[in-house]
Structure 1
Amino acid sequence: MEHVQEYPPPVAPSAYQPLATRVSVIGPEYCYPQPVDLAVVRKVLTISEGKFAVSDINGNIMFITKGKIFSIHDRSVFVVQSFSDIALFQIMTVHDRWQVFRRESTEEKDLIFTVKRSSMIQLKIKLHVFLATNPKENVCDFRVEGSWLERSCIIYSGESNTILAQMHKKHSVESVLLGKDKFMVTVYPNVDYAFVVALIAILDGINHDDDE
């Protein structure tokens, strides 16, 4: 059954201009002509024991992780679901590689993209993202750079300076009360926000792997 988006886009700031080409990775239904502001809250324990939830600016939950399904021999799988998709996609980690598959599959034909560190030793985050249609992985399709500790990460298109999304702290009374486990992500116009959520889930997994 075709996905029906249930969440209206937030009001678009005039400062953002849509990209000339739509960036659709998970699906075109997750691309809006306006920027999308997402709030990420870690350690959500009330809905399916999720590790974090992603909501819109009105507080409506859009995605939530189900945590690790299994972990054996340096391999783990966890699912990110939306409230209109039981299993939107799932992420498998194997030896410092993160693979994102459609729905509940882990078969090669259902691979969407792969994420790798640009180098094993990193003071700050630098990840390379390769679409399944780019199996040689000579040049990355997207990259993520920044500091998870400072909640300051940017997602770029390939090796360019074109920004697709950026993570930032939200300085408000609410964010102070919720503490460091809440931060904001702004997804630029015409960029697949479910794809951005997948990258945030991977970043969360990398930086909280021992946080059981």
Structure 2
Amino acid sequence: MELESSEWLSYPGSVDHSHIPIDLFGSKKHAGVPRGVLVFADASSNIVFKVNNAHTHSSPKKLLLDSSANPLFSIHRFPNGCWKCYKGDSNEEKELIFSVQRTLKKLSRVELEVFFKGENDGECDLKVRGSPFKRSCNIYKHNELVAQSSLMYKLHQIFVSRDKFRLTIFPETFDHALIVALFVIFLNGRK
């Protein structure tokens, strides 16, 4: 029996019980999707997640959608460099899943700290470190690697395209949608 997306979304950090790393391939160029829409596909090029831009009167917003275009997360950016991620297409405090604060911003490096709602009272739950320009980051829970991303490239290619990248999510860690939402924030964390 396959679960609906709303059934497996129990947060913070639902565990995926698969035993092998999962690769998702991100690109803004995917067949059947308007150009500029960020898509995450599996190894068979089936769309798993899409990211749509939306704006509210208070802040820029991104929606993380599943393959059927159902909203999983609403990601809001605030002027102070903070991000908040809510369940579904909400911005109500009771639907808050996690918040993200940028702790380092350099030209080539960004570090983010992730705080789940109601957990550890102010202690960082996850850290994201890397270079948004290179689409390269590592996501850690304490010292354990949860996920990492890197650019896709071919041997003998002089110019490395920044259009396609791979996001590897390691087994028995966090829900895939949550990791994708963190990666979307990371890509936009340089602003």
Residue aligning to 1:18: none
Deviating above 3 A after TM superposition, structure 1's stretches of 4 or more consecutive aligned residues are: 2-5, 24-28, 43-46, 175-178
Residue aligning to 1:80: 64
Deviation at 1:48, TM superposition (A): 5.9
1:161-176 to structure 2, matched below 5 A, reads: 161-172=143-154
Deviation at 1:148, TM superposition (A): 1.8
State the one-letter code of the partner of 1:200. Answer: F
1:201 to 179, 184, 187: 184
Deviation at 1:133, TM superposition (A): 1.4
1:36-185 to structure 2, matched below 5 A, reads: 36-42=22-28, 46-47=32-33, 51-67=37-53, 69-72=54-57, 75-84=59-68, 86-95=70-79, 96-119=81-104, 121-123=105-107, 124-134=109-119, 136-137=121-122, 139-157=123-141, 160-172=142-154, 179-185=161-167
Closer, same or farther: CA 45–59 of 1 in aligned 2, 3 Å: closer
Deviation at 1:47, TM superposition (A): 2.8
| Distance across 2 between alignment mates of 1:190 and 1:183 | 22
| Distance across 2 between alignment mates of 1:131 and 1:71 | 23
- Cα root mean square deviation, aligned: 2.8
CA contact (8 A) 2:39 2:49 kept: yes
CA contact (8 A) 1:153 1:167 kept: yes
| Distance across 2 between alignment mates of 1:176 and 1:103 | 42
List gaps (5 residues or longer) in structure 2: 6-10
Task: Give TM-score scaled by structure 2 length.
Answer: 0.81
CA contact (8 A) 1:166 1:186 kept: yes
Deviation at 1:101, TM superposition (A): 0.5
CA contact (8 A) 2:132 2:188 kept: no
Closer, same or farther: CA 129–136 of 1 in aligned 2, 3 Å: same
Deviation at 1:161, TM superposition (A): 1.9
Identity score, percent? 29
Secondary structure in 2 aligned to 1:104? coil
Closer, same or farther: CA 99–83 of 1 in aligned 2, 3 Å: same
| Distance across 2 between alignment mates of 1:49 and 1:26 | 31
Closer, same or farther: CA 132–111 of 1 in aligned 2, 3 Å: same
Task: Give TM-score scaled by structure 1 length.
Answer: 0.74
Closer, same or farther: CA 92–43 of 1 in aligned 2, 3 Å: farther
Segment drifting more, 32-41 vs 81-90: 81-90
| Distance across 2 between alignment mates of 1:115 and 1:97 | 6
